[in-house]
Structures are given as C-alpha cells and as structure tokens.
Structure 1
Amino acid sequence: MTPDVLATLQQHLLQCLASPPSEVRRLLHGRGRCWPGLEQLTVDWLQGTLLVCLYRDPGAAALAALQDSLHALTRQPQWASSGAERLLLQLRYLADSPALWLHGTPVQQCQVSEQGLHYLLDLGSKQNNGLFLDMRLGRQWVREQAAGRRVLNLFAYTCGFSVAALAGGAQQVVNLDMARAALSRGRDNHRLNGQPLERVSFLGHELFRSWGKLRKLGPYDLIIIDPPSLQKGSFVLSQDYPRVLRRLPELLAPQGLVLACVNAPEVGTEFLLHSMAEAAPSLQFVQRLDNPPEFADRDPQCALKAMVFQAPAAQG
C-alpha cells in the first residue's frame, strides 16, 4: 500500500463518515478488485465501530503505515461527528485472525441493525463476526418470500436467514448447523428481535447424518443452502454441494423454492446450474439475486452467487 493508495483510502472513509450509514454496511470492498492497491482490504461500518480487515500480509512497513493512516482518521472531525467510538484492525491473513484495537475501549460484542432487524456481532475474538454483509439482499428476499411458509435453513450459522424469515411471517423455521455455539447466538438474535422461539428449531447436527430427521420435520416451502466453501473435515464445496442438492426433491413441497448460495471466487454460476441439473433436474432455475451495490466486483462470476430454483407443481 503506497502513500497514494492510503490517501485514497482515507479520503473515501472520510466521505463515508461525513454521512454515515444508518445501519450496518460495508464501506469499502477492496476484494472486488475495484480499488487498485486495496484488493486485500475491507472496511465495515458497525454502527459505532469501524472494522478494517486485512487479508494479505503487506509487510511490516506497509502495515505500520496503514495503522498510522487509520490513527490519523480518528483525529478528523468527520470521525467525531459520525458517532464512531472504536476502530479495529483484524489481520485475517494470520491463523487466529488477531485483532488490533487502534482506537476506543475494546469490547467483545456489539449490536447492529439491518432493515429494522437486530443482530449481535463478535468483535476481535473470532474470524467472522456473525453476520455476512454481502447477503443483505438475500435476507431481504427471504423475508419477502416467507409469509406462511415452512423454512429450512441449512448451514444456519447465527441464523440471520431465520430472523429474516420470522420477520416475514414464516410459519416455522428449522435451522441446522453443526456449530452449536453459532446456533446459540442464533437464539440470542431471535430473542433480540422479540421473535417466538416456539416457531424455530435449532439442530446442532452434521447435515449428512440428518436427512431422516429433516424429512420428518418437512416438507418445506423454502430451503436455504449457504455453505462454507471449505470446512475442514465436514464440507468440501465441489464434492458435497451436489450431495445436498440431490436431497432437495424429497424435502421440498410442491412449488417450493430453494435459495442456493456460493461465495467462492473460483466458482461461477455454472457450478450451481450444472450441479442442480445433474442432481435435481426437476427443479427449475428462476433467478440470480442481485448483490448489494457496495459489494461491486470487477468480475460478477467471482462475487457471491445467490440463485433461486423452484420445484414443480404437484401432479394430478
């Protein structure tokens, strides 16, 4: 990161802070390769906390220069007027993703809002904070589709889709994720929004051993599949995604919808289209959801793929 690149970063952040978003939002998505020199940097506005994530080691001198630039940011009038209180730099290229608190009192959690819904985020203690901001329009779509429907949320993580589905009037939501701690945070998110937990199930199970349980709780009018690209020992996208798709016909109600997601730059839309055609040919492609404009990518095939498919109507 050259001085010119750091000056561009600071100028952009000052413009954002001069009129900060009213809810949680990405401010700079360098990984979309639309910001020359900042390809391994992202900046998120967490409503009082500025989270800067660095995904590649820039070298000691460049890292020190970045920290100096961020410190300087906190001394500008735009920082104070924005209501920002904390600045956190997370080194995602290191094994434990350590966090450096550059400004403000360190805290373990913060609460953010998105489209009127509330979520608890972790700060500085985990690789991911608990809410993937690029899925904002996906959560909005689920909320718009959920009324009266039974929803299955696979790889549920902290249950953001489930919160959105309940807000949209879902009849029942089943969340499945092998990480029980993430599901516990999902319960917290539902409680935070005053949502009835009797309409939500939390299954801390390994998916490929749970098909029988899921069939008994179905059928489902809407299934969400948002897996990790690679989860060591449990999920390899190229091998295991088709195994999930193959089960969809036995889980879906007639005309049920599927939101199938992939967020791996090396995997384009053809992967999902081809895999669905091979594994569940009765399901028809409907649309690819837009990504939030703040997640612009030089190559849309490298960005998040959130694609909708639909089961056929009942026969007879």
Structure 2
Amino acid sequence: MTISDIQKHLEENSKDLSTEFKRLFHGRGELYKGWKHLSVDSIDDILSVALYFEEENEVELIEMLKSFVASSRHKTIVLQRRYIKGSPSELIVGELADDLFVVENGMKIKLNLLSNLNSGYFPDMKNGREFVKANSKDKSVLNLFSYTCAFSVAAMLGGAYKVFNIDMSKSALSTGRTNHHLNDIDTKSVSFFSYNILKSFSSIKRKGPYDLIIIDPPTFQKGSFEATKDYRKLINKLEQIASEDCTLLACLNSPDLEAEFIKELIKELAPSFMFIKRLENVEEFQSEDEERSLKNLVFQRSKIIV
C-alpha cells in the first residue's frame, strides 16, 4: 500500500463523518501491508495521527495528510510519535481548544491530544461502553481499573443507581469527575476511590455486593498489574463481591492472551459465572487475527442447583 493508497482509503472512510469519533485507518489490525505502525482518527474537525515506529517516508506522509485535510471537514492535524521516548505529540496544522472532548454515541469524554501518555480515551472500547449503558438500569456497578471513568459515565446514563470507580491514579479519577460533569451527571451516586485494587479487597468488598462488575485492566503496568499472573487474583475474589445475579464484563487487550485465558480462569475460580458471549469489536478496528485484538467477554452469575 502506497501513501497515495492511504489517502484514497481516508477519503473513502470519511464520507459519513460527523462530530463523533471515527477511526479512519487502523494499521495496527495488520490488514494493510507495511502500515501496521499507523493509525488515523477523526475527532470532529481534528485529524489525530499516531506513528508507532519511525516512518522513512514521514515527510511525504505528512504532506499527504495536509492535502487530505485541505479538502475534508478537518482543520487540525495532531501527530504523536509513539516510537520516541515520551511519545511526544506535535500540532502540525491548526490549533486545539483547551476544553477538548470527544463524542461517542452522544457521550462526551475529555481529551488531551497533546499528552505524552494516553489521550484519556480508548475508542476500541466503544461496544463495551454500549453494553454497560444497556445493562446498568437500577444496578450497583463496580468499575475496576476505571481510569477516566468512561464506563461509569455510560453506566449512569444507562440508569445505574450507584457506581464505584477504582483506580490507582488520582489524576485519572479527577478527569473521571470532569467526564461526569461534561455529561450533566450528578455525582452524588458516583464514588471515586484511589486504591491499589489487588491490595484493597476488603474495602471493595464492604461496598458490595455488586450487580455489574467491569474488569478492564492494563495488560502490563509495572508495579501495578500483570495480566498473566494478576487477573487470576481478581477472579479468585469475584464470587465474594458479586450479587446472586451479577453480570461480569471481563476485558483483555493483550495480543498474546486469547479469550480462553479468561474463560478458563472463570471456570476454575468462579464457576457460578457462565460465559454468555464475546462482544463484537468496533467495525473500523477490524484485525487480521481477532484473538490478538480486544476481547470483551460477558459472564452471568446463576445459582447452582444441586
């Protein structure tokens, strides 16, 4: 695929754009030979571009993006070079508002496109948030590894009567509060706790039981969580904090761990939870190998009849 081909791809995928977020080019799905290091997103009138390793034709790529923007709804280009230490972001064209947010199915999420870390928004989780919104009515929701609390916003918009957000990062939780306010949500029924989840089980248990539990951990975060060994610790405690008819959304974004990894843990350590389905991934995040992409698995607790 040439840079000219990428421009044609962007133009084709831009025909139905609105103010809502849309991924225009998902190289990381490895469907486009030679471009697995490139992603391009449309965020209202912003084109957000990420390079995951150095592109030898970067100058030509940037010129193509400028040409594309000149004839599209976009006014701004932000480029993040993820291959450089600190993952610096650069404003190539236009300007950014201070109070920037992304829109997803009408829900607003605060965005920091010039952050040298994550922007505060994970677009591939869109279908997971839709599931939570559709299954939160009158429920007590536990949102583990909540980060900026987008799941919590979805739960409250879906009618949850209370939500408990747990994350080690106080700054992420602070952004989480902002996300609720952006959506005109009264936070008197929403809690934000800066806990180390693996070391705070007794505190989490006291606030239960929970009717809907979301587990969306990082694959690996030094000193905090390592999926291959720490997911087991969470599942081992699951039945102690879950209501009798609890729904579980267990998320896994490791390319090296398949869905069976979670299914086997549940079968062994929380057998009252039955596997229901795997949520489909967002269409524009299609991958050559779905087992290497995001895995959102739904389980339902049921009473075991002896």
* TM bin (shorter chain): over 0.9
TM-score (norm 1): 0.93
Aligned-partner residue type, residue 62 of structure 2: Q
Given candidates 7, 11, 17, the residue that maps to 1:10 is 7
Q: How many residues align?
A: 306
Structure 2 residue 23 is the aligned partner of structure 1 residue 31:
no
Structure 2 residue 164 is the aligned partner of structure 1 residue 174:
yes
What residue is the counterpart of 1:63 in the other structure? Answer: 58
Aligned-partner residue type, residue 74 of structure 1: V
User: How much is the aligned-residue C-alpha RMSD, in angstroms?
Assistant: 1.6
TM-score (norm 2): 0.96
Whole-angstrom CA distance in 1 between matches of 2:107 and 2:17: 18
CA contact (8 A) 1:142 1:161 kept: yes
Aligned-partner residue type, residue 26 of structure 2: H
CA contact (8 A) 1:5 1:38 kept: no
Structure 2 residue 236 is the aligned partner of structure 1 residue 237:
no
CA contact (8 A) 2:102 2:109 kept: yes
Report the CA distance shift for 1:108/1:53 in structure 2 as closer, same or farther (over 3 A).
farther
What residue is the counterpart of 1:303 in the other structure? Answer: 293
Whole-angstrom CA distance in 1 between matches of 2:199 and 2:134: 31
Given candidates 42, 49, 60, the residue that maps to 1:45 is 42
Moved more, 305-314 or 257-266: 305-314
Gaps of 5+ in 2: none
Given candidates 228, 232, 252, the residue that maps to 2:218 is 228
CA deviation after TM superposition for structure 1 residue 109, in Å: 4.8
Given candidates 115, 118, 135, the residue that maps to 1:125 is 115
Alpha-carbon displacement from aligned partner over 1:19-74 (angstroms, at most 9, x marks no partner): 42341121111111112222111111111111011111223xx2222222222223
Alpha-carbon displacement from aligned partner over 1:198-254 (angstroms, at most 9, x marks no partner): 110000111112111111110000000000011011111101011011111001000
Whole-angstrom CA distance in 2 between matches of 1:263 and 1:88: 25
Whole-angstrom CA distance in 2 between matches of 1:183 and 1:27: 29
Gaps of 5+ in 1: none
Whole-angstrom CA distance in 2 between matches of 1:147 and 1:270: 29
Moved more, 177-186 or 98-107: 98-107
What residue is the counterpart of 1:96 in the other structure? Answer: 86
Whole-angstrom CA distance in 2 between matches of 1:313 and 1:168: 26
Whole-angstrom CA distance in 1 between matches of 2:301 and 2:17: 42
The share of aligned pairs that are identical, in percent, is 38
Report the CA distance shift for 1:284/1:18 in structure 2 as closer, same or farther (over 3 A).
closer
